[in-house]
Amino acid sequence: MTKENSTLPQIALVTGANKGIGLAIARGLGERGYQVWVARAIPNEGSRRSTR
């Protein structure tokens, strides 16, 4: 990293951060000063197969 951009914020996007490894990674990055954006999958109700 050069001196010119050393003041840029450290930003991370962590998917699957609602539990498990993703949550642990998000917490760890936050503790290290990162601005952390978290995301999780939302199941699509339309993708379920019909059991009829």
How do the domains of the chain map onto residue ranges? 11-41
Helix (H, G, I), strand (E, B) or coil at 4: coil
pTM (predicted TM-score): 0.64
φ/ψ of residue 41, rounded to 5? -75, 140
Q: Which amino acid is at 32?
A: R
d(CA 35, CA 45): 32
Q: Write out pLDDT tens, residues 2-45.
A: 555 568 889 999 998 888 999 999 999 999 999 999 988 777 75
Q: How many C-beta atoms lie closer than 10 Å to residue 23's C-beta?
A: 15
